[in-house]
DNA sequence: GCAAGGTC
């Protein structure tokens, strides 16, 4: 007879097995699932890792037809739970048969408890063995031994709380998504799904709120009085204490009083040393925020790379809430590894004193903060991980780890109060005295702002005083980092799922990210607007909060599981009836937008007619690249490749004389015929793109035309008959050949506009000989 | 084809 242990994931199973056995572990496989065998206290133990949830809720098959089942029916239909990872189910049965004790050892949180209960429910089909729970807050040796020496009862309330969340999330998501999607399809032909969910919708709501603030913004005028003071060694700026002055009369009055003053006095000077502490250790949310802010990477991508770095043993587990190191955390072995390569000087300086971490206050009792496990060079990372930016992420994590252990950065901040008569101006200066942790952290640099050396009571010259009118500016677009902060603050999603909610919204076409900022798309804006008018609670974080509060009561034993389902369902039904009573407005708003967007996208990507079936060809862009495909897919599989790099511009007025489907311009570089290839490889290039003739060749019966070799940064006029005659052209500025011809020689006129904004564009005859003679004459 | 939560 054996003790059987279930952990949340394979990695944890392996580690726990090692700790419990003291090293003597045998690994085998049951239907592809790893099992670790060992002896503990003279008994056989078998430890198996699950893969997170291995069961999931869904509606029975007869409710799967969207057209036949009224979405409203889903609200009164209980979803059923199935095994979604069959091989894990079989392995559990296989182990449980011979067990005389079962131990659940998943992560110590609500979902972990629930995952344990999934294994328990499967095991209990074949086993009557008692089920215990090992509760540990880290995978350290002491903690694991303590947990397994002090087994407790599984917490059914905790597991059922997660169960209620799953059911309510699915009910709401499925009913609302089907209802909105089907309602819109009554009016407009679209294959797209308009999804709604308790996390994705409030996430989009944050972006919508910001967009509303931007669209509703009314700019106001204000006036700002600034002065430039000057001492014998340098000038410095000051701003009037009144700041941004809303009333023009007030600003004018102050300005009139002092505008002719030539001397000011340093009324007060204060110098303060300030320090900026290093950042806290990284938990998942902070990691994702900083990766977006510093590296411009999407949370989804960052987490994917972190996962790979973790699996390859470069960094610790990337999904953690904790931003403080445990008291017995061993920094030294890691730091010693970092004493080579580009981090050496920082690691050595940390090792030369006491190692002190600047800890945060969050402790999820799960995993340590994200930190490098071992030193790696750029080549090490690139050899192991086939994802671009993997090095950037590793380097950032390594630098953050080191920065956290380094001393604060010290600054000297100087504040001057400068009196012009009795009006006070403020000047601030800041000088970095000791870079501290900033040395290893190039992502946050602070520039010095220097003030000249002056003393209190000293006079300085007033060089200039200005009174300028400005306008208040609208709020900026939300950045992805700010969005993550809002989600975290309002409990939308978890450390592991926040990126996926952002990705869902992008996939649905609700918003997009441009660089670091998030922009709402019309479909997203209209959907949020319509929901905001009918079921406002959906667009706000409140909906998640309401469900969370319900299930927390289940976890605390204050509410029965069934009662929470009834209450939750009632809440969802209320929202559903609000939504359906506003169906007409909702559909007209959405249908219009979707039609507009579909037409716009179609037009933008239209390439031409398909030679196989006559339908439209269009350009398709995916994560993997871009190509031209037929809108008749999958019936018609006609497709063509496109060049991988360079912006594509479809040239609608051009026709390929060799029969290519269309001609596109690739960047500013060359032309490409769809289905044929680059035009510069084609013998008919001259026919499709006839040279721009500017005039007859003075040496033969050919014509002079523009030759522009962008790669060599040179341009000149050459002869179509290649007689060897050429003429030079100005090399700088944008050159356009005009329609007009020169009155004197009949050659075409050209215009040259130089980059310098102050310079006017020049127009002259393309014929250098003619242009020169006219300038002399 | 719907959600969100784990993890590979």
How are beta strands A639-641 and A625-630 bridged, if at all? antiparallel
CA of A503 to C1' of B3 (A): 14
pLDDT tens digit sequence for A386-435? 888 999 999 999 999 999 999 999 999 999 999 999 999 999 999 999 99
Which nucleotide is at minimal CA–C1' distance from A493? B4
The reported pLDDT for the residue numbered A726 is 82
CA of A527 to C1' of B4 (A): 21
Identify the residue with better confidence: A467 or A774.
Answer: A467
Pick the CATH number of A165-181+192-216+488-585 from 2.10.60.10, 1.10.460.10, 3.20.20.70, 3.60.20.10: 1.10.460.10
Take residue A97 and report the two structure tokens written for it.
């048969």
Q: Which of A616, A613, A611, A627 is nearest to A659 (CA)?
A: A611
Spatial CB neighbours of A133, under 8 Å, sequence gap ≥ 6: A103, A104, A105, A113, A116, A151, A152, A153, A154, A155
Which nucleotide is at minimal CA–C1' distance from A303? B7
Across A312-316, A355-359, A552-556, A627-631, least confident range: A627-631
Which nucleotide is at minimal CA–C1' distance from A107? B6
Distance (Å, rounded) from C-alpha A82 to C-alpha A92? 15
Assign residue A748 a region: left if phi > 0, alpha if psi is -120 to 50, beta otherwise? beta
Identify the residue with better confidence: A398 or A139.
Answer: A398
CA of A314 to C1' of B3 (A): 33
CA closest to C1' of B8 belongs to: A51
CA of A686 to C1' of B5 (A): 61
Q: How far separated are the first and last CA of chain A, in Å rounded?
A: 112
The reported pLDDT for the residue numbered A654 is 77
CA of A54 to C1' of B6 (A): 8
Which nucleotide is at minimal CA–C1' distance from A84? B6
* Cβ(A523)–Cβ(A512) below 8 Å: no
Distance (Å, rounded) from C-alpha A439 to C-alpha A386? 30
Per-residue pLDDT at A777 exceeds 60: no
Across A122-126, A489-493, A636-640, least confident range: A636-640
Q: Bridge-partner residues for A719, per DSSP?
A: A704
pLDDT band at A462 (very low <50, low <70, confident <90, very high): very high
CA of A87 to C1' of B8 (A): 14
> Cα–chain-centroid distance for residue A47?
38
Q: Which residue has the tokens 């037409």?
A: A599
CA closest to C1' of B2 belongs to: A174
Which nucleotide is at minimal CA–C1' distance from A169? B3
Domain map of chain A by residue range? 2-154, 165-181+192-216+488-585, 221-277+410-471, 284-406, 610-687, 691-776
* Cβ(A553)–Cβ(A165) below 8 Å: no
CA closest to C1' of B1 belongs to: A193
Average confidence (pLDDT) over A75-82: 96
Average confidence (pLDDT) over A127-143: 89
Per-residue pLDDT at A635 exceeds 90: no
The reported pLDDT for the residue numbered A709 is 66
Question: What's the full length of chain A, in residues?
Answer: 777
Take residue A158 and report the two structure tokens written for it.
């905790």
The reported pLDDT for the residue numbered A607 is 76
Which nucleotide is at minimal CA–C1' distance from A165? B4
Question: Domain A221-277+410-471 falls in which CATH fold?
Answer: Topoisomerase I; domain 3 (2.70.20)
Which nucleotide is at minimal CA–C1' distance from A177? B2
CA of A501 to C1' of B2 (A): 15
Alpha-helical regions (H) of A296-389? 299-311, 332-337, 344-351, 378-384
Distance (Å, rounded) from C-alpha A733 to C-alpha A542? 57
Which nucleotide is at minimal CA–C1' distance from A317? B7
How are beta strands A99-105 and A131-133 bridged, if at all? parallel
pLDDT band at A3 (very low <50, low <70, confident <90, very high): very high
CA of A494 to C1' of B7 (A): 14
* Cβ(A387)–Cβ(A623) below 8 Å: no
Nucleotides on strand B lying under 7 Å from protein C-beta: 1-8
pLDDT tens digit sequence for A23-41? 799 999 999 999 999 999 8
Which nucleotide is at minimal CA–C1' distance from A492? B4
Q: What is the mean pLDDT of chain A?
A: 89
- The CATH architecture that domain A284-406 belongs to is Orthogonal Bundle (1.10)
Tell me which CATH code domain A2-154 carries: 3.40.50.140
Per-residue pLDDT at A640 exceeds 90: no
The reported pLDDT for the residue numbered A526 is 95
Across A212-221, A292-301, A679-688, least confident range: A679-688
CA of A515 to C1' of B3 (A): 28
CA of A570 to C1' of B6 (A): 27
CA of A110 to C1' of B8 (A): 22
The reported pLDDT for the residue numbered A689 is 73
CA of A168 to C1' of B5 (A): 13
Helix (H, G, I), strand (E, B) or coil at A290: helix
Which nucleotide is at minimal CA–C1' distance from A192? B1
CA of A616 to C1' of B2 (A): 31
CA closest to C1' of B6 belongs to: A52
Which nucleotide is at minimal CA–C1' distance from A199? B4
CA of A124 to C1' of B3 (A): 28
Distance (Å, rounded) from C-alpha A606 to C-alpha A628? 9
Distance (Å, rounded) from C-alpha A392 to C-alpha A71? 46
SS (H, E, C) A247-283: CHHHHHHHHHHHCCCCEEEEEEEEEEEEEECCCCCEC
Q: Which of A360, A370, A203 is nearest to A303 (CA)?
A: A370
Treating both helix axes as pointing N-terminal to C-terminal, what angle do A156-185 and A583-605 enclose, rounded to 10 degrees?
A: 70
CA of A476 to C1' of B3 (A): 31
């Amino acid at each position: 007879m054996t003790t059987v242990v279930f952990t949340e994931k394979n990695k944890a199973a392996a580690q726990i097995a090692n700790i419990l056995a003291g090293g003597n572990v045998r690994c085998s496989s049951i239907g592809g699932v790893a099992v670790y065998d060992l002896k503990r206290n003279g008994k056989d133990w078998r430890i198996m890792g699950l893969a997170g949830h291995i069961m999931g809720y869904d509606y029975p098959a007869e409710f799967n037809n969207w057209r036949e089942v009224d979405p409203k029916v889903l609200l009164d239909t209980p979803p059923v739970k199935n095994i979604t990872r069959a091989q894990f189910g079989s392995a559990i049965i296989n182990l449980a048969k011979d067990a005389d004790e079962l131990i659940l050892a998943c992560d110590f949180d609500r979902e972990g408890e629930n995952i344990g209960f999934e294994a328990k429910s499967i095991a209990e089909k074949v086993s009557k063995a008692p089920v215990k729970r090992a509760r540990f807050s880290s995978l350290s040796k002491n903690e694991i031994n303590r947990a397994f020496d002090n087994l407790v009862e599984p917490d059914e309330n905790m597991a059922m709380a997660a169960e209620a969340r799953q059911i309510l999330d699915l009910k709401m998501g499925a009913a609302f998504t089907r209802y909105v999607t089907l309602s819109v399809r009554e009016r407009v032909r679209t294959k797209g799904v308009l999804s709604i969910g308790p996390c994705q919708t409030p996430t989009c709501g944050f972006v919508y709120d910001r967009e509303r603030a931007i669209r509703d913004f009314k700019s106001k005028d204000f006036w700002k009085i600034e002065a430039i003071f000057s001492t014998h060694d340098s000038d410095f700026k000051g701003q009037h204490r009144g700041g941004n002055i809303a009333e023009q009369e007030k600003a004018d009055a102050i300005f009139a009083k002092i505008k002719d003053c030539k001397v000011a006095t340093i009324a007060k000077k204060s110098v303060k040393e300030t320090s900026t502490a290093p950042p806290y250790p990284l938990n998942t949310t902070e990691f994702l925020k900083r990766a977006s802010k510093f590296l411009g990477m999407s949370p989804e991508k960052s987490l994917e790379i972190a996962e790979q770095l973790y699996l390859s043993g470069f960094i610790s587990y990337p999904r953690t809430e904790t931003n403080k190191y445990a008291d017995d955390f061993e920094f030294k072995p890691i730091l010693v590894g970092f004493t080579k390569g580009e981090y050496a000087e920082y690691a050595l300086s940390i090792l030369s004193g006491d190692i002190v971490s600047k800890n945060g206050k969050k402790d999820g009792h799960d995993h340590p903060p994200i930190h490098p496990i071992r030193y790696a060079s750029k080549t090490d990372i690139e050899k192991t991980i086939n994802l671009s930016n993997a090095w950037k992420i590793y380097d950032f994590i390594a630098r953050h780890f080191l920065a956290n252990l380094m001393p604060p950065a010290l600054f000297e901040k100087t504040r001057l109060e400068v009196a012009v008569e009795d009006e006070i101006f403020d000047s601030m200066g800041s000088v970095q005295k000791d870079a501290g942790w900033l040395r290893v952290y190039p992502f946050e640099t602070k520039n010095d702002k220097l003030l000249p050396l002056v003393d209190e009571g000293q006079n300085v010259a007033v060089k200039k005083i200005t009174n300028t009118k400005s306008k208040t500016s609208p709020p900026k677009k939300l950045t992805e980092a700010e969005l993550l902060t809002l989600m975290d603050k309002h409990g939308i999603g978890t450390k592991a799922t926040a990126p996926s909610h952002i990705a869902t919204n992008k996939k649905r076409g609700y918003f997009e990210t441009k660089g670091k900022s998030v922009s709402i798309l019309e479909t997203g804006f209209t959907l949020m607007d319509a929901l905001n008018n009918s079921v406002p609670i959906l667009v706000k974080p409140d909906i998640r909060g309401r469900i969370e509060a319900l299930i927390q009561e289940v976890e605390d034993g204050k509410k029965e599981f069934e009662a929470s389902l009834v209450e939750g369902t009632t809440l969802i039904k209320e929202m559903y009836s609000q939504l359906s009573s506003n169906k007409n407005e909702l559909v007209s708003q959405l249908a219009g937008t979707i039609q507009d967007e579909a037409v716009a996208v179609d037009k933008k990507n239209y390439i031409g007619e398909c030679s196989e079936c006559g339908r439209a060809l269009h350009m398709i862009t995916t994560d993997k690249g871009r190509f031209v495909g037929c809108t008749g897919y999958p019936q018609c599989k006609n497709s063509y490749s496109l060049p991988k790099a360079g912006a594509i511009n479809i040239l609608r007025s051009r026709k390929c004389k060799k029969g290519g489907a269309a001609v596109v311009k690739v960047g500013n570089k060359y032309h490409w015929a769809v289905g044929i290839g680059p035009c510069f490889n084609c013998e008919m290039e001259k026919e499709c793109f006839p040279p721009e003739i500017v005039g007859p060749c003075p040496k033969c019966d050919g014509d002079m035309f523009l030759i522009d070799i962008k790669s060599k940064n040179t341009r000149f006029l050459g002869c179509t008959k290649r007689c060897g005659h050429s003429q030079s052209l100005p090399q700088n500025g944008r050159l356009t050949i005009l329609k007009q011809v020169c009155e004197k020689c009949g050659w075409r006129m050209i215009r040259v506009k130089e980059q310098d904004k102050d310079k006017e564009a020049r127009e002259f005859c393309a014929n250098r000989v003619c242009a020169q003679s006219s300038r002399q004459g």
